[in-house]
Amino acid sequence: MSTVITADFSQFGIRELIFAQLLLKAYAEHGAEFLNCGLTLNFNTSSGYVFLSDEDYNVGVLDQSEQYIVQFYTCPQCGYEGTQHNALSEEKDFSTFNGYCSVECLDKNI
């Protein structure tokens, strides 16, 4: 059984190492206020995503410009995943609905 999420660089390919380099450069230059203690650099071997994660499971990915780290969200109700930018383009909004992607998902949780 293989591990899906790994921080072991020997499991990263060239593409993933390049994304890791870009993530670390963005973090060094601009930081990421939403990320806290226990920060790790990870690779999802199933999806191909390279991301930062803290001990509270906050996730940071590169924005479209590859210069800044933005938060990556997962709706606990429906499983929708993406950045706030992605969500807004699909008429969803994580910031308005307290971590849920839509009013429908928030209502289902109440």
* Domain co-membership, 49 together with 60: yes
> What mean pLDDT comes out for the span 11-21?
96
Residue 47 belongs to domain spanning? 1-72
Number of other residues whose CB lies within 10 A of the CB of residue 1: 3
pLDDT digits (tens, 9 = 90+) for 28-82: 999 999 999 999 999 999 999 999 999 999 999 999 888 999 999 999 999 999 9
* Domain co-membership, 79 together with 64: no
The amino acid that residue 84 corresponds to is Q
What total of structural domains would you count in the chain? Answer: 2
* Domain co-membership, 108 together with 65: no
The pLDDT of residue 50: 97
Task: Report DSSP state, residue 9.
Answer: G
Kindly tell me if the per-residue pLDDT of 109 is higher than 90: no
* Domain co-membership, 31 together with 46: yes
Ramachandran angles phi, psi of 73, nearest 5°:
-110, 155
Q: How far apart are CA 28 and CA 15, in angstroms?
A: 20
- The alpha carbons of the chain give a radius of gyration, in whole angstroms, of 15
* Domain co-membership, 7 together with 58: yes
Number of other residues whose CB lies within 10 A of the CB of residue 27: 18
* Domain co-membership, 10 together with 46: yes
The pLDDT of residue 1: 55
